[in-house]
């Protein structure tokens, strides 16, 4: 598959629009005013070429899938002039994004508390093993500072990797934030070493979206979203944010929603500094929504007693909370010990571990739980997964601005997704063709029967591992399906009925 949204080398990008490839070097660069980088949304590359023609601006890079260019103005008044060019959708400042972690700021948990206390606090430890395995069909994307792939729990996942600036697989994490986030979202639960992530056997895609100096912008974030969606991610972790949004970011979030991908973002750590509304979290769960609706989830941080962590932002844009004060995770070997202090983990054979705090680290716990819900019921849409996570949280359907719908309950969400007997079904009609699907994390084989009106029941498929069948339907008839889940001995372990009238 061609990576059409890849941040290609500058010369390639400029050649695509027929522009000069001159770069600021030497004395000419030193004499140039320090004008801010801009994002230019365009309808066609020809429109972009007209906007920057005559040396008015320098194209730094393109994100073709978003139809956005990052440009450096060379003349005063470029933005106003470019906005008047036909085919230019918008011109706006590139926005900085911050990571919502507070490493080394808080003391470690008291003696006697389990290292991964967040597991029991969210009932993650009560999720059935077969659901952990079923999550292997789901891909989680972490858009962050990269990851240390020598960490045992990440190495065991053999993650896909992508650097949006180089277009290659090098995602070395000198910061440490991305490693910690990735370990919480998708650290291996089956390698017998280190820590365990919330996503069971979920696949992991790590996208490094930070520059060499560690900075991240809305354009970098948006490019990461596009890449994740186009490469099969079902749920995306964004432990980043800032006080304003942009058209570029909004388009990327909308792209994910259109492709049935769930984005989960941190609400921020500035409660004691004015409690601002932060983005992209407030794009996913809009301000004023009181946790209802939205296209994704905005996550705050909770303490061991389920209350809001003192730094965690609050407000009508909050969906739910998850443990974020003094949580335990994997550390990058390239990170600073001053920023991410090391803690001894008895019994571990390799890797580095420690405690950290922030809504950054509450977010991947919800991301992992979302992957479990998707594994338990693959027929759910992204918005339905988000609703289940909110409705099964500790608030039992009641919302408040401090903790949203309450603390994440991973086991409760999985149980809701599975239904009464763990056998879920789904039907979709297109004209006179009806596609019927079924799934159970516990079954090894299935038997599916069909009865039309009051006719005789006939077996469609028997003793099969397949999970779908198509039939031709006619108007003014009732169709009743029965699905039997069979265990290893061939005995019926669960039965579910599904009927409709066409």
Domain boundaries, the chain: 10-94, 98-405, 423-501
Tens of pLDDT, residue by residue over 58-104, are: 999 999 999 999 999 999 999 999 999 999 999 999 999 999 886 65
User: Catalytic residue at 360?
Assistant: yes
Q: What is the pTM of this model?
A: 0.91
Distance set, CA 345 to CA 152, 194, 325 (Å): 13, 8, 18
Please spell the DSSP secondary structure of 459-480, one letter per residue: EEEEEE---EEEEE--TT-EEE
Look up the CATH number of domain 98-405: 3.40.50.200
Classify domain 423-501 at the CATH topology level.
Immunoglobulin-like (2.60.40)
10-94: CATH class: alpha beta
Percent of the chain's residues with pLDDT above 90? 87
pLDDT(332) > 90: yes
User: Catalytic residue at 259?
Assistant: no
Tens of pLDDT, residue by residue over 242-301, are: 999 999 999 999 999 999 999 999 999 999 999 999 999 999 999 999 999 999 999 999
Q: Which pLDDT belongs to residue 17?
A: 37
The closest alpha carbon to 374, from 392, 389, 361, belongs to 389
CA distance 278 to 263: 15
Give the CA dihedral 330, 332, 338, 341, nearest 10 degrees.
Answer: 20
User: Catalytic residue at 426?
Assistant: no
Better pLDDT: 472 or 5: 472
Catalytic residue among 144, 153, 326, 484: 144
Catalytic residue among 101, 188, 360, 394: 360
CA distance 88 to 270: 35
Residue with tokens 């994704």: 296
Contact 153, 193 (CB under 8 A): yes
The closest alpha carbon to 154, from 205, 109, 119, belongs to 205
**Looking at residue 360, what DSSP letter applies?**
H
List 141's β-bridge partners, or say none: 205, 236
Catalytic residue among 5, 39, 173, 177: 177
Tens of pLDDT, residue by residue over 11-56, are: 323 333 334 333 333 334 444 557 899 999 999 999 999 999 999 9
């Amino acid at each position: 598959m061609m990576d059409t949204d890849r941040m290609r080398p500058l010369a390639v990008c400029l050649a695509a629009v027929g522009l000069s490839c001159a770069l600021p070097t030497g004395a000419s660069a030193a004499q140039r005013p320090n004008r801010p980088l801009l994002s230019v949304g365009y309808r066609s590359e020809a429109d972009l070429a007209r906007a920057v023609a005559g040396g008015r601006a320098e194209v730094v890079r393109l994100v073709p899938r978003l139809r956005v260019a990052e440009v450096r103005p060379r003349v005063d008044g470029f933005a106003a002039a470019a906005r008047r060019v036909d085919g230019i959708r918008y011109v706006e400042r590139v926005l900085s994004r911050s990571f919502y972690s507070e490493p080394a700021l808080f003391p470690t948990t008291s003696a006697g508390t389990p290292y991964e206390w967040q597991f029991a606090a969210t009932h993650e430890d009560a999720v059935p093993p077969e659901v952990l395995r079923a999550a292997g069909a789901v891909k989680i994307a972490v858009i962050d500072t990269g990851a240390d792939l020598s960490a045992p729990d990440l190495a065991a996942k053999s993650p896909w990797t992508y650097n949006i600036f180089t277009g290659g697989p090098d995602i070395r994490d000198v910061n440490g934030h991305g490693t910690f986030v990735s370990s919480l979202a998708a650290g291996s639960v089956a390698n017998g070493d280190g820590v365990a992530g919330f996503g069971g056997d979920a696949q992991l895609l790590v996208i490094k979206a930070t520059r060499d100096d560690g900075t991240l912008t809305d354009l970098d974030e948006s490019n990461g979203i596009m890449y994740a969606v186009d490469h099969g991610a079902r749920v995306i972790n964004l432990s980043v944010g800032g006080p304003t949004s942009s058209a570029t970011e909004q388009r990327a979030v909308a792209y994910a929603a259109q492709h049935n991908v769930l984005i989960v973002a941190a609400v921020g750590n500035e409660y004691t500094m004015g409690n601002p509304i932060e983005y992209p979290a407030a794009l996913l769960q809009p301000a004023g929504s009181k946790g209802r609706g939205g296209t994704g989830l905005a996550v705050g941080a909770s303490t061991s007693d389920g209350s809001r962590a003192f730094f965690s932002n609050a407000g009508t844009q909050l969906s739910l909370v998850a443990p974020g004060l003094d949580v335990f995770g994997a550390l990058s070997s390239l990170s600073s010990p001053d920023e991410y202090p090391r803690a001894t983990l008895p019994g571990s054979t390799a890797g580095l571990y420690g405690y950290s705090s922030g809504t950054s680290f509450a977010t991947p716990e919800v991301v992992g739980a979302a992957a479990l819900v998707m594994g338990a019921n693959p027929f759910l849409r992204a918005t339905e997964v988000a609703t289940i996570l909110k409705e099964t949280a500790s608030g039992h359907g009641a919302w408040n601005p401090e903790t949203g719908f309450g603390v994440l309950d991973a086991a409760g969400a999985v149980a809701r997704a599975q239904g009464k007997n763990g056998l879920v079904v789904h039907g979709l009609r297109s004209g006179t063709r009806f596609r019927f699907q079924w799934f159970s994390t516990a079954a090894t084989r299935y038997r599916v029967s069909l009865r039309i009106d009051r006719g005789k029941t006939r077996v469609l498929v028997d003793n099969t591992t397949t999970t779908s069948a198509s039939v031709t339907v006619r108007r003014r008839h009732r169709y009743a399906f029965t699905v039997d889940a069979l265990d290893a001995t061939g005995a019926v372990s669960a039965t579910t009925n599904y009927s409709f009238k066409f």
